[in-house]
Amino acid sequence: MQNITAFIDGSVYGASVVDHAIWAAERLHMPISLVHVMGRRNEVTSQTTDLSGSIALGARSELLGKLAKLDEERAVLGRERGRAILDDAMARVSKTSGVEVLCKLRHGDLVEATQDLAEETRFAIIGKRGEAADFATLHLGSNLERLVRTSTRPTLVVSRAFKPIRRFLLAFDGGPSAQRAVARLVEGSVLSGIECNILAVGSATAAVAENLAAAANALRGAGYAVCEHLVQGAPEAEIAKAVMALDADVLVLGKSGHSRLRRLFIGSTTLELMRSCHVPVLVFP
């Protein structure tokens, strides 16, 4: 059975991730898998401590023992904190819905966790920034960038608060990644039946207009109410403007390429829009 896999931590995005997971689970009639990953960056290991200086042998041994005990205490606290985060999230789900929910506490790397859970994941949900992100500079979390680059499942990157999703904007450039996004929407998606605006940014040539119309018609055939838009300008700026002007509640993007090299660079447009837009961004692989 596939799940809505929601990655949660102690950041301000935690509640939003859970609320979006409830919305998705109710629409798709799927259980939620709440996952908290205890990252390696928080680990402290006495084995890596360099005590080869002038400290006497006995003092080194005593210090190593204290460090080992401290490591153990921190590991216990980390597990307790992780379970508390999961318990709070589960309680939030139980209060607002009858959706089945599973909890998983994992140790290691977030990207590795997404890969391990890919088989059981319909799509993943994660907050735009994690606990360690620099909110002052509005930088994306490094784990998020790596996750989106490498994920083989659609990823919903959520904003700080949930609001009802009434319409979405699909950024369409006619390329393979955009065509795959259209195909995934046509096959059936959490956005099925929701009003769609499809936007192409570029010259108003016959080929561009034809590709845009074909994509819009495919979506109409799948039951979407679709409005087409073709504008000129810089993609990042025009897409961001359209999100606001059309009052879109979700921005949908396709991720470029599947080769090992291309997975390292999902594109400046994608990252900039994820960073700057104040609505959730759904990225199709």
The pLDDT tens digits for 231-274 are 999 888 999 999 999 999 999 998 764 433 333 334 556 777 88
CATH number at 189 reads 3.40.50.620
Whole-number pLDDT of residue 141: 61
Q: How does residue 142 score in pLDDT terms, banded at 50, 70 and 90? A: low
Q: Do the beta carbons of residue 20 and residue 125 sit within 8 Å? A: yes
121 — pLDDT class (breaks 50, 70, 90):
very high
Q: Are residues 224 and 201 in the same domain?
A: yes
Same-domain status, 220 and 241: yes
268: buried, middle or exposed (CB in 10 Å: 19+, 13-18, 0-12)? exposed
Domain termination residue (choose one: 157, 192, 227): 157
* Count of the separate structural domains present in the chain: 2
Its domain, for residue 220, covers: 164-279
State pTM to two decimals: 0.83
Assigned domain for 95 exists: yes
Question: Is residue 251 a contact partner of residue 280, using CB atoms and an 8 Å limit?
Answer: yes
The verdict on 190 and 261 lying in the same domain is: yes
Dist CA 154 CA 238 (whole Å): 24
Last residue of a domain, one of 137, 157, 177: 157
- Give the start-end residues of each E strand in the chain: 3-7, 32-39, 101-108, 121-127, 155-158, 167-171, 195-201, 226-231, 250-254, 281-284
- My answer on whether 153 and 190 are in the same domain is no
Q: Are residues 17 and 149 in the same domain?
A: yes
Residues 151 and 240 in one domain: no
Residue 143 within any structural domain of the chain: yes
In a shared domain, residues 123 and 209: no
Q: 123 and 83, same structural domain? A: yes
Q: Are residues 130 and 179 in the same domain?
A: no
Dihedral angle over CA of 178, 180, 186, 192, nearest 10 = -70
Binned at pLDDT 50, 70 and 90, residue 135 comes out as: very low
Percent of the chain at pLDDT exceeding 70: 83
pLDDT one-digit tens code per residue, 49-73: 555 555 666 677 777 878 888 878 8
Q: What mean pLDDT is reported for the chain?
A: 84
pLDDT of residue 260: 38
